[in-house]
C-alpha cells in the first residue's frame, strides 16, 4: 500500500470478516479499493476529488459505499456504508439478525454464523448444507463440520422481548455465542 492509504475498515459478514482498504491520492485523484488485500476498484486521474465509490464485499455480494467528503481546504473525511447504512448502524442491526459462535474444532478455528431471517448457516465462509426438524420445544437445524455433528436449537424464551433463543451444540455440547 502506498502513502495514499486513508481508510481501513473491518466488516463482519456471514462469510467472514473482511478488511477494506481505501487509497485516495488527493494530488492525482487516484482511488483504489482493496478487499482482503485484493484490488477491486482502481481509478486514476479523477478530476473530482469528492464523491462516492460503490462496490460489493464478500461471498454474499453485500453492497458497500465509501463516501468522500471535503471537510475544509484539503482535508477529507471518508465514511463506509454497508447496505446503505453507516458501518456502526449496520453492525448494531447485524447483531440482532445474526448469531455468531467462535470455536476451535480439531485444532482449527471455526466461525459459525446463523442468519436468523433465512436460517442460513455459514462456517468459515461456506454456506452449510442443513436439515431442519421440528422438536417438542422448537426447531433443530442439523449440519456437519468435518465429522462433528452440529445442531442449532431455536427455542422460545417465553418472553416476547427476548423472542427466540438460538443455541449451538457440537457433538452434544453447548457452545456459547460470541459478540463480533
What pLDDT, on a 0 to 100 scale, did the predictor assign at position 157?
84
Confidence tier at 171 by pLDDT (50, 70, 90): very high
Mean pLDDT over residues 153-176, rounded?
Answer: 89
Fill in the DSSP letter of residue 47: S
Question: Domain span at residue 115?
Answer: 98-175
Tens digits of residue pLDDT in 125-152: 999 999 999 998 899 999 999 999 999 9
What pLDDT, on a 0 to 100 scale, did the predictor assign at position 68?
94
* Sequential DSSP letters for 122-146: EETTEEPP-EEEEETTEEEEEEEET
Domain count, the chain: 2
| Residue 120 sits in the same domain as residue 77 | no
Tens digits of residue pLDDT in 45-86: 877 888 999 999 998 899 999 999 999 877 899 999 999 999
**Predicted TM-score (pTM) of this structure:** 0.84
| Residue 111 sits in the same domain as residue 74 | no
Bridge partners (DSSP) listed for residue 142: 131, 151
What pLDDT, on a 0 to 100 scale, did the predictor assign at position 106?
92
Mean pLDDT over residues 159-175, rounded?
Answer: 89
In a domain, 141, yes or no: yes
Confidence tier at 2 by pLDDT (50, 70, 90): low
Tens digits of residue pLDDT in 9-59: 999 999 999 999 999 998 888 999 999 999 999 999 877 888 999 999 998
**Alpha-carbon dihedral 94, 138, 164, 145, rounded to 10 degrees:** -30
Last residue of a domain, one of 83, 109, 137: 83
Residue 113 pLDDT greater than 50, yes or no: yes
* Sequential DSSP letters for 10-42: EEEETTEEEEEEEEE-TTT--EEEEETTEEEEE
In a domain, 180, yes or no: no
Residue 5 pLDDT greater than 70, yes or no: yes
Confidence tier at 1 by pLDDT (50, 70, 90): very low
Last residue of a domain, one of 59, 83, 107: 83
CATH of the domain at 77: 2.40.128.180
In a domain, 93, yes or no: no
Amino acid at each position: 500500500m502506498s502513502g495514499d492509504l486513508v481508510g481501513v475498515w473491518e466488516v463482519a459478514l456471514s462469510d467472514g470478516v473482511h478488511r477494506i482498504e481505501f487509497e485516495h491520492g488527493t494530488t492525482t485523484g487516484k482511488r483504489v479499493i482493496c478487499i482482503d488485500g485484493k484490488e477491486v476498484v482502481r481509478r486514476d486521474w479523477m478530476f473530482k476529488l469528492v464523491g462516492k465509490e460503490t462496490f460489493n464485499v464478500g461471498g454474499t455480494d453485500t453492497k458497500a459505499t465509501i463516501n468522500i467528503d471535503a471537510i475544509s481546504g484539503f482535508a477529507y473525511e471518508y465514511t463506509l456504508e454497508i447496505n446503505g447504512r453507516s458501518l456502526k448502524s449496520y453492525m448494531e442491526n447485524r447483531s440482532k439478525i445474526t448469531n455468531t459462535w467462535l470455536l476451535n474444532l480439531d485444532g482449527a478455528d471455526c466461525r459459525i454464523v446463523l442468519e436468523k431471517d433465512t436460517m442460513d448457516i455459514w462456517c468459515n465462509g461456506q454456506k452449510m448444507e442443513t436439515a431442519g426438524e421440528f422438536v417438542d420445544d422448537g426447531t433443530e437445524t442439523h449440519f456437519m463440520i468435518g465429522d462433528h455433528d452440529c445442531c442449532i436449537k431455536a427455542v422460545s424464551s417465553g418472553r416476547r422481548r427476548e423472542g427466540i433463543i438460538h443455541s449451538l451444540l457440537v457433538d452434544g455440547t453447548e457452545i456459547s455465542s460470541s459478540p463480533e
